[in-house]
Amino acid sequence: MLTVAVTGGIGSGKSLVGDYLEALGAIVIDSDQLARAVIERGTPGFDEVLSRFGDKILHDGGINRAALGEIVFSDPQARKDLEAIIHPRVRAETEAVIRAASETSVVVNQIPLLVETNGAHRFDFVITVEAPEELRIARLKERGMKEYDARRRMASQATSDERRKVADLVLDNSGTKEELLHHVERVWQEVLLPRAMGKS
């Protein structure tokens, strides 16, 4: 088995890389999706978040993620408190998926905050997806995010240089989706599959 982290700043295209790898046969874990699931209404995580941040983050009985985001992206301590609630639960869910995988599986974890959580050592192989800042902002604006919000979120994340330092491989996503798919297919065939099979 090969455990792989796919990281990258917001708007870099790491989710697209994860989609391509899943189509090629990888088991893909989306840490963002897990982070949402572990604090859904009815979970212990929901109760902890509500206890820490209060009713002001609620909307229609669930957590208003935009309101919660406003708090944690402007208050470093609040962000640490939220991460202390979410990250252990996400890791536990991830470990359960890995335990259930076959010996020759490639298990990919899409994890945006790999550097920030000092998590690179938990994986056999680390890929970072990188693209120029202005291109990332343009992509985020196409998805409906305000430019100031995109820049603020980017500023709260690790830098490209910091991600590159922990990465075994850098995927350039400054081109088209077709070019990215070609890069991912080559990495799958030439790097990830052989390692999973124990050939390198």
The tens digit of pLDDT for each residue in 95-130 reads 899 899 999 999 999 998 899 889 999 999 999 999
In this prediction the pTM is: 0.83
Give the CATH number of domain 32-102: 3.40.50.300
Could you write out the DSSP letters of every residue in 13-80? SHHHHHHHHHHHT-EEEEHHHHHHHTTSTTSHHHHHHHHHH-GGGEETTEE-HHHHHHHHTT-HHHHH
Domain ranges of the chain: 1-26+105-200, 32-102
- Type of residue found at 60: D
Q: Do domains 1-26+105-200 and 32-102 have the same CATH topology?
A: yes
- Residue 200, pLDDT > 60, answer no
Tell me the torsion sign for CA atoms 73, 79, 85, 89: positive
pLDDT number for residue 129: 98
Q: Which of 44, 71, 45 is closest to 57 using CA atoms?
A: 71
Architecture of domain 1-26+105-200: 3-Layer(aba) Sandwich (3.40)
Summarize pLDDT for 44-76 with one digit per residue, the tens. 999 999 999 998 999 888 899 889 988 998 898
The tokens of 84 are what? 């202390």
Token match 């009713």: residue? 55
